[in-house]
Structure 1
């Protein structure tokens, strides 16, 4: 850690930067920065260091490298908690995994043991989160693990738990079920002391709220929430990427080109993080983009078939490719039970109003009022709604 502070200090000096001026610009006291760089008061606070790194280094890759180095070497319980929060909102899932492992392993080091005891309850919840982050567990599988895990009543842990439960319900397409968890998360956020961790958790909460508003077809509220996240001064890459995708989805029926613009921006944001292709979000954004192209019949050559769902592939094949192959995929999907989207796809392909009604019922049952517009359009066109 001392070597890292020395490197940062040397960079500041070599660039003839004034610590006093930096302090004013990042809203941190000069003494705090100087003492941290000189290690006079021990380890610098993570949030101070993050602000400093983003101010001193303009290369995003260098910023990421410097922050990762700090996380790999941090040793205070508060910095570990802040590093976990940062890793979640910045998409540094492998860094988070390494940090969890480091503070979970048995050790004879008494100082390390003390920190491990302090952060154990937080590691437990972040470990759950990383199952979904890394696309290892989703939906019911994730819910099963959550229910088997004892989670602390600490407000920080409860915010994490409830936002994760919202995510799991989202995976199961039970959008209306997200509301009760959202209320619980908001209540626990209010109980937390102001600070970096609370800021991180509030952004995670807003991310989930944006999608709750999207599926409730509250597009104006959804867009306002997305813009609040995007315009935040906090450097939370993955949360901002998610806000861009959600913003894009809010324009799908109103302006498909605007929707494409924001979803592409979301993917671009994620591609600036570590190992984006192994994450649930990257796959989700790509799938959403594929749906947009298939539904409105443009930029079909830009579809990334590595990240297309079976339902979307069947839809694509029936509309633009090998129709027989598309129907074969649909037959396999029928054995598992068709989703609301898949019912809509078939209703559009076959101009089947009965299937469109079933799709509408399913969308309304899950609480996805925005996507209920898909089968509604067919029913209105056919004059049966």
Structure 2
């Protein structure tokens, strides 16, 4: 680790980085920075991260490598926890995996953070996540407010996966009150943003658009989001873009591209599932607005059917959807909507689709069925741009 610290120190000098301004920015004194660079003191991990971004602003690989090395020598559990928070907020899941290896974790906070990591990675969700939560975390009794908030964040994800959106939003409000009681500023900010990140998906699905956009802009405009919480900013851009998907093509595309760019230039393949979700949403946006249709190739068969509809190939779309129904035994709400559209806005099929949307509490995307049934306009649907 000392080789890393010496290189950082040398690079600070070669790049003429003003150490006086740097220590002021991360709220330490010059003597503390000097002791840290000489290996005689360990900085809080998020402040180390800020130093790396100052010295290597355009070299994510250097920052990743140096974060991994420092995280492997941390002495205090509190600093290890901050490291996990920092790395999760940057999508650095490979390093988080090393810190939260199931064979070595023993502290309660590690057990619950591992569930958050597995949800981010895409390995656990919904009922499976709930099962593991009950087995490993639910029964742990603790008076520590931060630990209880972490448990609540896992429950937010579970309730979203299980489509309990209103319950999820109520829980988020309770968690925000608990966060305000915390004293550690970085932990407080991380947990606040993490709760918001989880909640905005539920707000979108419930079609609470003004509230959703307000939360998204709060995250995006926060002065610390670029430096300390870029993945939360990517999520905010992505969901904000999705909220404009039916009303403003250019605004929607701009926000979605901003989200994809943060992931591409940051964690990259470590958050491939998140990036693919954004790219799939961009495909849906273009299909819906009939833009660049010849260059879109959706991976999902149901979305391929929507593409064919927008190209004017309704019979081909019907054939695709009939094959999906045969293979899966039924069509999703989206599949039924597209089938109804392909069959000349068949009112019975579209009504069945609307019923499925409403039973799953997906009010936002139920707009597709309602619009083609002729019972809902953009204006009364709360979709103002």
How much does 1:377 deviate?
0.8
Q: Does 1:178 align with 2:168?
A: yes
Q: Does 1:161 align with 2:160?
A: no
Q: Structure 2 vs 1, CA of residues 230 and 276 (structure 1 numbering), >3 Å: closer, same or farther? A: farther
* Equivalences for residues 259-270 of structure 1 within 5 A: 259-270=252-263
Q: 1:354 aligns with which of 348, 365, 369?
A: 348
CA distance in 2, matches of 1:377, 1:303: 24
Q: 1:69: which partner in 2?
A: 69
Q: Does 1:135 align with 2:122?
A: yes
CA distance in 2, matches of 1:367, 1:128: 25
Answer yes or no: is the 8 Å Cα contact 1:175–1:366 preserved in 2.
Answer: no
Q: Does 1:313 align with 2:312?
A: no
- Name whichever of 233-242 and 139-148 sits farther off: 139-148
How much does 1:261 deviate?
1.6
Answer yes or no: is the 8 Å Cα contact 1:176–1:366 preserved in 2.
Answer: no
Q: Structure 2 vs 1, CA of residues 349 and 334 (structure 1 numbering), >3 Å: closer, same or farther? A: farther
* Equivalences for residues 196-235 of structure 1 within 5 A: 196-232=186-222, 233-234=224-225, 235=227
Q: Which consecutive unaligned segments of at least 5 residues does structure 2 have?
A: 381-385
Q: Does 1:150 align with 2:137?
A: yes
CA distance in 2, matches of 1:193, 1:373: 43
How much does 1:366 deviate?
3.2
Q: Structure 2 vs 1, CA of residues 86 and 277 (structure 1 numbering), >3 Å: closer, same or farther? A: closer
Tell me, what secondary structure is at the counterpart of 1:35? helix
Q: Provide the aligned length of Structure 1 versus Structure 2.
A: 367
Q: Does 1:297 align with 2:290?
A: yes
- Name whichever of 245-254 and 42-51 sits farther off: 42-51
How much does 1:85 deviate?
0.7
CA distance in 1, matches of 2:57, 2:191: 26
Q: Which consecutive unaligned segments of at least 5 residues does structure 1 have?
A: 106-115
How much does 1:67 deviate?
2.4
Answer yes or no: is the 8 Å Cα contact 2:45–2:83 preserved in 1.
Answer: yes
Q: Structure 2 vs 1, CA of residues 205 and 214 (structure 1 numbering), >3 Å: closer, same or farther? A: same
Task: Provide the TM-score with structure 1 as the length reference.
Answer: 0.85
Q: Does 1:248 align with 2:238?
A: no
Answer yes or no: is the 8 Å Cα contact 1:359–1:375 preserved in 2.
Answer: yes
Q: Does 1:13 align with 2:30?
A: no
Q: 1:189: which partner in 2?
A: 179
Answer yes or no: is the 8 Å Cα contact 1:286–1:304 preserved in 2.
Answer: no
CA distance in 2, matches of 1:382, 1:227: 27
Q: What's the RMSD between the two structures over aligned residues?
A: 2.7
Tell me, what secondary structure is at the counterpart of 1:73? coil
How much does 1:47 deviate?
1.8
How much does 1:334 deviate?
5.4
